[in-house]
Structure 1
Amino acid sequence: MGDSPAIILVHPTEEEKLIQFNLNGAEWRGALSLEAYLRRETVLSQQTLTKDGGITYWILIDTSLPHQLGRPKLPLASCETYRKKALVWQDGKLQEVICHGIGSVFCASHLRRRGYAQRLMTELGKALRTYQTDEKTQSLFSVLYSDIGKKFYKDFGWEPFDSSHVALNAGTSADASSLPAARPLYAEDLEELCEIDVASVRRNLESRPKGSKTAVALLPDIETIRWHHARENFVGMELHRKAPNIKGAIVGTEKGKRVWCYWTRMWYNQNPAEAKGNTMHILRLVIEDGVWGDTAASNVNGNSVDHSHDAAIAALLVVAQREAEEWKMEHVEMWAPTPAALAAAQRLDPSAKVVARDTESIASLQWFPEHDGPVADKIDWIGNEKYGWC
């Protein structure tokens, strides 16, 4: 059972990794065949974000089982972690750290209810405190996105944070003639914009008022965005025999006054002619001359909301809706919408509202430094958008 001292957390051999991928493929392959899913995982492991130790695979094994060299070939539970760059502001000091994002937590159905997943998370939480750290590089937190509600991972230290979104149907019947012009963004446009965005994240954190809560931010760097697009491109080629070229949209031409977003298409329907279940996610929304607004769902109806960017954001969403329709997406979804983003969505669909997620994609964070009690109300998770998902 899961509390056996013979059970340990290890990095799998290539053979063990393949065994586990074949087991978890039914859960994680989405619209892909198992064979295509295996190829996708290989491709995603070779991106700039993931190569050279950027992705790490973990499995739980029972060393008491009588296998050759004491190395069982059947993983009891598994996951992977992604090394990400992050910033932490605390007590007036800004620090660049690494953060590990946890994905694909899995225990095969015939091994469940034995405590293996619980043991996996217990051991992983211990390991990630110091994994890939040294004198110059610290890791102060890790994140995951729960698809099984808020309780399970909370019991092991990953506290649920606000997880909300606003959704719009693909295609649009709204009159966009009064909106500013939005032009598409392509892969070659994104690196410069990501650099501008990352610099802005840093400046905003550095300027936090004295006495503010601790703040953390995963960096929306080009390596992260390209990983999402590599995933999108692979599935697009498998289902539609072509990869999407348009990766986002931008309004404005004057530097310092532009508004833009990146997105990614996620297919779950195995019929490429059907849109049901497929979602276009806005990875990141950037207001170049802005600062982060309050993204809490309870504050989106405040009277002091700055509406100066509503039209620009609405123009971006119109392009997203059109792209979503072309690529067989059911709807467009934007995580952690600011009041301005919600107002923009409501210009296109007056019934649009903030949805607080309580079962799927629950943004959860484990804070490593010693602390007294829960930290979800003591830490601001800045830019808690889809780009951080893994």
Structure 2
Amino acid sequence: MDLPHKDSSELHLVVATPEELLQQQHDNSGEWKGALSLEAYLRREKFLLQQQLTKDGGLTPWMLVYQPQKGPRQVLCGCESIKKKALIARNGQVEETIVHGVASVFCPPKYRGRGYAGRMMHDVAKRLKTWQVDEGQISGFSILYSDIGKDIYAARGWQPFPSLHVTLPAKATAPSSSIRKLETTDLTELCRKDEQLLRKRLQSHKLSGRTAVALLPDFRTLQWHNAREDFVARELYSNNVRVMEGGRGATVTLEDGHQASCYWTRVWTNPQEEAPNTLQILRLIIEGEGGDEYDFGPATDEGVAKMKNQPLVNAVSVLFAAAQNAAHAAGMDEVQIWNPTSITLAAVKLLCTNAAVVTREKESITSLQWYGEGSWQDIDWICNEKYAWC
């Protein structure tokens, strides 16, 4: 059958039927099933659709279809969007907005090279501007994490933002007496406090008149990561409790009586590939005066030198050492922290003096399409950490 040109009026962006979504998951499983079998991958995707973040329309499966005047429609490519909450700060005013995270972009090999995925993403970008918001309103922005470099999605409006990380080796160390392991029951309250802190800091943070945005690190988002991790752990390790013995994260009490905390997720990669199994730090949370002065900007040599001997840095390094322990217990190769600040990097260097910040050029490129007034170039993406990934 002859296929239409990418600009054909017979191509339409639609919400997939359950049957079309299942077929798309079959097709894209080679890309994203990781260490899972096909059957387990399909069960995981069904399981994740039942989570608070994604159920009841929280996740929308999009398809670009060829719909001739006669005959059934034919799916050419697809993606998903997840409805999220975010904060936008301008001139000391903070507002909450609906945003969408785009994921699972996939075009079967037989349809590649025809521009269909590009057409779909162009149409998705326009649709998401007003998708699932009140009448007369627009979404604040949309995000995606590109695994095909920076240029292709930028051409469709998703501009690349800083995509940096630093790693520590998985390592068994003597646990600090100041550390308390975080379990699932601790996370609801931690997320609530984190949201309060983030709103306060966005309101007072000085950004030279620029607009700051941050994905909300709410419990629904964290629960989705936990569910994804738990499913894979059960499939791969059954009842091996050692794999998860490091808990969900760790917290430590600071000198002023406040706390610093981080939570993480374990990511197992496809054994056929060379990519390391990684414990990802999803979010670092710092309370107290040191936290109120927290520099949201990327790490600099000057900033690291300034923070080097601060008690706060020592406390954060204890958290990262706990993460190394948890990674070792789970058979991980490393711990990874996205977009480190000077505090983060100073803490990492206490544990690994030769640790260096890596700039990602091809994978997990954090990208944002701005729908509001002004230009994306006037936007600072605050707390651009792994928790926002989808």
Same fold by TM-score greater than 0.5: yes
Q: Which residues of 2 match residues 46-125 of structure 1 at below 5 A? A: 46-64=50-68, 66-68=70-72, 71-72=73-74, 75-125=75-125
Secondary structure of 1:250's counterpart equals strand
**Alignment correspondent of 1:220:** 217
Q: Distance in 1 between matches of 2:125 and 2:323?
A: 38
Q: Distance in 1 between matches of 2:389 and 2:12?
A: 27
Q: Which residues of 2 match residues 338-349 of structure 1 at below 5 A? A: 338-349=341-352
**Alignment correspondent of 2:141:** 141
| Equivalent position to 2:23, from 19, 26, 35 | 19
CA shift for structure 1 position 211: 4.8
C-alpha contact 2:83 2:98 (8 A) present in aligned 1: yes
Q: Counterpart of 1:296 in structure 2: which amino acid?
A: P
C-alpha contact 1:249 1:262 (8 A) present in aligned 2: yes
Q: Identify which range, 359-368 or 274-283, moves more after superposition.
A: 274-283
Structure 2 CA distance for partners of 1:39 and 1:277, relative to 1, 3 Å: same
Secondary structure of 2:280's counterpart equals strand
Q: Distance in 2 between matches of 1:312 and 1:87?
A: 28
Q: Distance in 2 between matches of 1:137 and 1:265?
A: 38
Instruction: Please say if 1:320 is aligned against 2:323.
Output: yes
Q: Distance in 2 between matches of 1:255 and 1:161?
A: 34
C-alpha contact 2:92 2:202 (8 A) present in aligned 1: no
How far does the alpha carbon of each residue in 1:254-275 deviate from its partner, in whole angstroms, 9 at most, with x for none? 996101000000101348xx99
**Alignment correspondent of 2:199:** 202
Q: Distance in 2 between matches of 1:362 and 1:59?
A: 23
C-alpha contact 2:138 2:371 (8 A) present in aligned 1: no
Q: Counterpart of 1:187 in structure 2: which amino acid?
A: T
CA shift for structure 1 position 319: 1.2
Q: Counterpart of 1:217 in structure 2: which amino acid?
A: A
Structure 2 CA distance for partners of 1:77 and 1:190, relative to 1, 3 Å: same
CA shift for structure 1 position 300: 6.1
**Alignment correspondent of 1:234:** 231
C-alpha contact 1:98 1:137 (8 A) present in aligned 2: no
Structure 2 CA distance for partners of 1:298 and 1:318, relative to 1, 3 Å: closer
C-alpha contact 1:159 1:364 (8 A) present in aligned 2: yes
How far does the alpha carbon of each residue in 1:316-356 deviate from its partner, in whole angstroms, 9 at most, with x for none? 11111111111121100001111111111111111111111
Q: Distance in 2 between matches of 1:116 and 1:186?
A: 44
Q: Which residues of 2 match residues 33-48 of structure 1 at below 5 A? A: 33-48=37-52
TM-score (norm 2): 0.91
C-alpha contact 1:300 1:338 (8 A) present in aligned 2: no
Structure 2 CA distance for partners of 1:256 and 1:156, relative to 1, 3 Å: farther
**Alignment correspondent of 2:14:** 10
How far does the alpha carbon of each residue in 1:297-326 deviate from its partner, in whole angstroms, 9 at most, with x for none? 446645543733111111111111111111
Q: Distance in 2 between matches of 1:346 and 1:223?
A: 32
Q: Identify which range, 116-125 or 205-214, moves more after superposition.
A: 205-214
CA shift for structure 1 position 232: 0.1
**Alignment correspondent of 2:163:** 163
C-alpha contact 1:216 1:382 (8 A) present in aligned 2: yes
Q: Counterpart of 2:339 in structure 1: which amino acid?
A: A
Q: Distance in 2 between matches of 1:217 and 1:155?
A: 23
Equivalenced residues, count: 378
CA shift for structure 1 position 209: 3.9
Q: Distance in 2 between matches of 1:268 and 1:27?
A: 11
C-alpha contact 2:254 2:312 (8 A) present in aligned 1: no
Secondary structure of 2:97's counterpart equals strand
CA shift for structure 1 position 240: 0.4
Structure 2 CA distance for partners of 1:38 and 1:210, relative to 1, 3 Å: closer
**Alignment correspondent of 1:364:** 367
Q: Distance in 2 between matches of 1:161 and 1:60?
A: 27
Q: Distance in 1 between matches of 2:259 and 2:351?
A: 21
How far does the alpha carbon of each residue in 1:129-188 deviate from its partner, in whole angstroms, 9 at most, with x for none? 000011596411000011111111100110000111110111156xx68x6621210000
Secondary structure of 1:76's counterpart equals strand
Q: Counterpart of 1:149 in structure 2: which amino acid?
A: G
Greater helix share, structure number: 2
Instruction: Please say if 1:282 is aligned against 2:319.
Output: no
CA shift for structure 1 position 380: 1.0
Q: Distance in 2 between matches of 1:136 and 1:283?
A: 34
Q: Distance in 1 between matches of 2:165 and 2:342?
A: 12
**Alignment correspondent of 2:260:** 259
Q: Counterpart of 1:228 in structure 2: which amino acid?
A: H
**Alignment correspondent of 2:334:** 331
How far does the alpha carbon of each residue in 1:86-141 deviate from its partner, in whole angstroms, 9 at most, with x for none? 11112443211011001111111121110011001100000000000115964110
Q: Counterpart of 1:108 in structure 2: which amino acid?
A: P
Q: Which residues of 2 match residues 375-386 of structure 1 at below 5 A? A: 375-376=376-377, 378-386=378-386
Q: Give the % identical residues.
A: 46
Structure 2 CA distance for partners of 1:134 and 1:206, relative to 1, 3 Å: same
Instruction: Please say if 1:248 is aligned against 2:245.
Output: no
Structure 2 CA distance for partners of 1:371 and 1:215, relative to 1, 3 Å: same
How far does the alpha carbon of each residue in 1:183-224 deviate from its partner, in whole angstroms, 9 at most, with x for none? 210000110011000011111112234853100010101110
Q: Counterpart of 2:113 in structure 1: which amino acid?
A: R
Structure 2 CA distance for partners of 1:383 and 1:180, relative to 1, 3 Å: farther
Q: Identify which range, 131-140 or 226-235, moves more after superposition.
A: 131-140
Q: Counterpart of 2:66 in structure 1: which amino acid?
A: D
Q: Distance in 2 between matches of 1:65 and 1:169?
A: 58
**Alignment correspondent of 2:128:** 128
C-alpha contact 1:256 1:288 (8 A) present in aligned 2: no
